[in-house]
Amino acid sequence: MRPIRLGMVGGGQGAFIGGVHRIAARMDGMFTLVAGALSSDPERARASGEDLGLAPERTYMTWDGMARAEATRPDGIEAVAIVTPNHLHAGPAVAFLERGIHVICDKPLAATAEQAAAIAAAARASGAMFFLTHNYPGTPMVREARAMVAAGALGALRLVEVEYVQDWLARPVSNKQADWRTDPARSGAGALGDIGTHAWNLARFVSGLAPEALAAEVSTLVPGRRVDDNVSAHLRFAGGARGRLWASQVAVGHENGLRLRLAGSDGGLDWSQEDPNRLWFTPIGEPRRLLTRGGAGTGPAAQGRVPAGHPEGYLEAFATIYADIARAIRTGDRAACPVAGIEDGLEGMRFIAACLASSAAGGAWVAMH
């Protein structure tokens, strides 16, 4: 089938996540990048467009100019990827949704509750679809874990433990990636928004449990930093399950330590992002079992892209998210698409707000509404 015409807001020269989105979008040949407003700096925007082979007339200096122009072209973009800092998600998301253009937005949803509400209102009023790129649910063994939980392999879930720990901000750092993430005006929240929402989304995706309340301590451990860099939270889920979440960017000795552990009445699961092709399953009273991507004893969700024993990782998981999005756009069936959407984004914002409110109240339990 003809590739979906894709535009991009942000992601110009020196931007990490923009390159990731472009690789993911083209890996299965389902998208082709044809337009972009790649930087707020005109010279960088033009140079970035040249680097990517975009036509000069489709390399825009502003996202609102891009939205207006592309919406009127017979060959205009059908979807747009927004890969800007958090505070710049709402403006372009609303502009493209209002023009019937599908939006693929990097996480978290926004920097503030007001910005998130504006995106949600536009998404609900639009005939276009909205996707939020929490990419780790694109990993085969994460999907296998989800399928096992749904099939009852663990029995009734009792414990949900998730952590996402890094050390790259353990000291004061100044570079393109760190500067906006540690600026509250651009990020909204620090570790909470950047990686805490990933951990929250992963736990929700696999467990299928709805949150009821949490009690959190949100800390800034590097002197002089203006956003949080460490959070620990206790969780209560509907049905009686309990959990914990730890997100930190100052945990020395950890590079990208996203890990999920689940325990139920009949068994347990353990998965780590740094060893993504393996999933440990322990039926109660039996030895621990190693399940591998595409290996014996696994279901369709675990098959992945290449034969068993050939590693898959971060980029492939991101590409699976883009392939899911393409299928949803082509079929018009958003409900069947497992990629996070507007409600997941709003829940992530409520998670951030609840953690901050709980911490401000000395770790009091805060209801998740």
Is the peptide bond between 56 and the residue preceding it cis, with omega within 30 degrees of 0?
A: no
| For residues 2-29, average pLDDT | 97
Tell me if 229 sits within 8 A of 288, measured CB to CB: no
List Cβ<8 Å contacts ≥24 apart for 16-20: 16/177, 17/83, 17/106, 18/83, 20/314, 20/315, 20/318
User: Which of 60, 61, 81 has the alpha carbon at shortest distance from 7?
Assistant: 81
Which residues does residue 91 pair with via DSSP β-bridges, in sequence order? Answer: none
Q: Is the pLDDT of residue 119 over 90?
A: yes
What is the gyration radius of the CA atoms in the chain, in angstroms?
A: 20
Q: What is the mean pLDDT of residues 275-282?
A: 98
Q: Say whether pLDDT at 313 is over 80.
A: yes
The whole-number pLDDT of residue 316 equals 97
- Is it the case that residue 284 has pLDDT exceeding 90? yes
* Cβ atoms of residues 162 and 206 within 8 Å: no
Q: Mean pLDDT for the chain?
A: 97
CA–centroid distance for 368 within its chain: 20
Q: What gap in Å lies between CA 326 and CA 336, rounded to an integer?
A: 12
* Least-confidence region, from 120-129, 163-172, 306-315: 306-315
pLDDT digits (tens, 9 = 90+) for 106-117: 999 999 999 999
Q: What is the mean pLDDT of residues 41-61?
A: 97
**Confidence (pLDDT) at 369:** 76
Give the bridge partners for 104, in sequence order: 81, 131
Q: Which of 57, 56, 81 is nearest to 69 (CA)?
A: 57
State mean pLDDT over 336-347.
Answer: 97
Q: How much of the chain exceeds pLDDT 70, in percent?
A: 100
For residues 341 and 365, what is the distance between their CA atoms, to the nearest angstrom?
A: 27
Q: In terms of residues, how long is the chain?
A: 369
Tokens of 151: 């099939």
208-239 pLDDT tens trace: 999 999 999 999 999 999 999 999 999 999 99
Nearest to 330 by CA among 81, 121, 86, 31: 31
Tens-place pLDDT, residues 162-183: 999 999 999 999 999 999 999 9
Q: What is the pLDDT of residue 6?
A: 98
The pLDDT value recorded for residue 1 is 83
Least Cα distance to 144 among 293, 296, 302 occurs for: 302
Apex 269 CA angle, 145 and 348, nearest 5:
60
pTM, 2 dp: 0.96
State mean pLDDT over 330-358.
Answer: 97
The amino acid sitting at 83 is V
Residue 343 has pLDDT above 90, yes or no: yes
**Tokens coding 82:** 């927004």
For residue 233, the model assigns a pLDDT of 98
* Distance, CA of 84 to CA of 17 (rounded, Å): 9
Q: Euclidean distance between the first and final Cα of the chain, in Å?
A: 42
Domains and CATH numbers, the chain: 4-132 (3.40.50.720), 140-306+345-360 (3.30.360.10)
User: What does the pLDDT look like over 130-161, one tens digit per residue?
Assistant: 999 999 999 999 999 999 999 999 999 999 99
**CA atoms of 200 and 192, how far apart (whole Å):** 10
Residue 57's pLDDT band (cuts 50, 70, 90): very high
pLDDT at 27: 97
Place of tokens 């693929």: 104
